[in-house]
Amino acid sequence: MNGARQPVGVFDSGIGGLTVVKAMIEGLPSESIIYVGDTARVPYGTKSKSTIVKFSLENVEFLLRFGVKCIVIACNTSSSWALPTLRKYFKVPIVGVIRPGAFAAVRRTRHKRVGVIGTNATIKSRAYEIAIHRIDPTITVFSQACPLFVPLVEEGWLNGSVCRTVAQRYLQPLKHRRIDTLILGCTHYPLLASTIQQVLGPGVTLIDSAEQVAAEVRGVLTGTDTLCDQRTTPRHRFFVTDEPAHFTRLGHRFLGRLIGSVERANMHA
């Protein structure tokens, strides 16, 4: 099989990773994508490190059955805790969402005051803080877990009074710290961007890692000489580990387009 024609694998704990797929479809329009959302075991953000690593290993093993040429961890929690282990066990290039987001924030901050919001597990891992300080140790990073944001997005409550009240409660401490840049450290959060921006005001730049991830994938594929040429029609397949109906219903909100068929993934085939 021609390396360039092989698909790119993407996994997430659930549905949020579709925001990364959307950016990849826009930025890499010729690439075929195999996506698996571990909807049976979502959320990862409240689980222990060892559980997150175990689930992540299983997701990669599933994707490797399709001969993928590169794997994207479209999940901040998995990227925070499992990336080093995955890179140790598998030869395929693996891209996480943390480093691209950190790079973007470092480039955009004006006063070296960066905020990070994410799940409890992502914030506890301090992964963004570590990644940012590797690039520029003089930046001050302020972090805030926002566990209610994911259920709000999944309910479709993207704006309105409930959403705004929750956002104000979470973001007030970051506002007090006078951050000028905020990393949306969970793939669900871009859907709340307008509410988050309203609460923080126009002076704060929001960083959505998805576009940066697509750019990093392009770099990896170029480096391994497996970037797909423009003459092919890509094929996108979507798998979930639980009932597909919920994923199909919500998916178009994240992907910006309708999802055709969603298949049931058998992790232990």
- Number of CB atoms found within 10 A of residue 230's CB: 6
CA distance 266 to 27: 30
For the CA atoms of 77, 78, 81, 84, the dihedral, rounded to the nearest 10 degrees, stands at -150
Task: Tell me which of 75, 146, 163, 228 is the catalytic residue.
Answer: 75
Structure tokens given for 148 = 């209610």
Q: Examine the residue annotation and report whether 228 is marked as an active-site residue of this protein.
A: no
Tell how far CA 140 is from the center of its chain: 23
Closest to 80 (Cα-Cα) out of 43, 40, 131: 131
Structure tokens given for 38 = 């571990």
CA distance 246 to 85: 31
- Number of CB atoms found within 10 A of residue 113's CB: 17
**What is the helix, strand, coil percentage profile of the chain, to 5?**
50, 15, 35
Q: Do residues 187 and 76 lie in contact, with contact meaning Cβ atoms separated by under 8 Å?
A: yes
In 251-262, which positions are buried (b, 16+ CB within 10 angstroms) versus exposed (e)? beebbeeebeeb
Task: Tell me which of 70, 146, 163, 186 is the catalytic residue.
Answer: 186
Q: Examine the residue annotation and report whether 146 is marked as an active-site residue of this protein.
A: no
Structure tokens given for 92 = 């395929």
* Catalytic residue numbers, as ranges: 75, 186
